């Protein structure tokens, strides 16, 4: 019996499908808040739509590790915002989970490196939890439940290029 079969046999797929959708909303909310300055982590005047840089504070003041990226704010901003939006939609809809998992894990690792070491716990923080949630969602094929995963995998281009699954 494979690990995936074990997970499925214990009924963990439904909670993981819910976690997939919730994780999608976390990333999508971050996109909307940074784009439009909804006042939670980004004020209106710092919104990207008003000329603000969603990565400037993090890259310039939050860390020395990634400060070299501060020279490339415009490119970094576009990549981060596109990543947040695409990852959010992919997780909510349950499509493109291979790419979403790899992209999401890489994005979260970069964010983690930027705040390492964690300030609230010397060993672990939510970034590490997000990585394992993304991996669990992918390994359990949680996109097939409460998502469009099965239909997505039947699209001809996805069948031709399995990396798009």
Predicted pLDDT at 57: 61
Task: Name, in order, each residue with C-beta under 8 angstroms of 2's C-beta and a sequence gap of 6 or more.
Answer: none
Residue 23 has a CB neighbour count (10 Å cut-off) of 21
Picking from 58, 73, 40, 71, the residue whose alpha carbon sits closest to that of residue 110 is: 58
For 68-130, give the DSSP string.
GGGGGHHHHHHHHHHHHHHHHHHHHHT--HHHHHHHHHHHHHHHHHHHPSPSS-SS--HHHHH
* Tally of residues, the chain: 165
Per-residue confidence (pLDDT) for residue 73, from 0 to 100:
58
Percent of the chain whose predicted confidence (pLDDT) is above 70? 81
User: CB-based burial of residue 11 (10 Å sphere; 0-12 exposed, 13-18 middle, 19+ buried)?
Assistant: exposed
Instruction: Measure the CA–CA gap between 17 and 152, rounded to whole angstroms.
Output: 16
pLDDT at 126 over 80: yes
Mean pLDDT of the chain: 85
What is the spatial distance between Cα 112 and Cα 106, in angstroms, rounded to a whole number?
A: 10
Inform me whether the pLDDT recorded for 98 exceeds 90.
yes
Summarize pLDDT for 133-149 with one digit per residue, the tens: 999 999 999 999 899 99
> Do 136 and 16 form a contact (C-beta atoms < 8 A)?
yes
Tell me: the pLDDT tens digits for 14-61?
A: 899 999 999 999 999 999 999 999 988 888 888 899 988 877 666 655
Indicate whether 11 pLDDT > 80. Answer: no
């Amino acid at each position: 019996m494979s690990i995936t079969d074990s997970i499925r046999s214990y009924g963990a797929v439904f909670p993981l499908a819910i976690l997939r959708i919730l994780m999608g909303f976390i990333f999508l909310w971050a996109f909307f808040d940074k784009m439009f300055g909804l006042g939670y982590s980004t004020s209106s005047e710092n919104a990207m739509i008003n000329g603000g840089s969603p990565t400037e504070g993090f890259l310039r003041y939050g860390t020395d590790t990634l400060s070299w990226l501060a020279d490339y704010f415009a490119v970094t901003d576009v990549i981060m915002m596109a990543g947040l939006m695409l990852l959010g939609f992919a997780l909510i809809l349950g499509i493109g989970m291979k790419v979403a998992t790899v992209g999401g894990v890489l994005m979260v690792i970069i964010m983690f490196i930027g705040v390492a070491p964690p300030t609230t716990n010397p060993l672990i923080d939510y970034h590490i939890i997000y990585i394992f949630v993304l991996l669990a969602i992918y390994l359990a094929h949680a996109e097939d439940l409460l998502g469009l995963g099965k239909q997505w995998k039947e699209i001809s281009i996805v069948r031709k290029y399995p990396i798009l699954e």
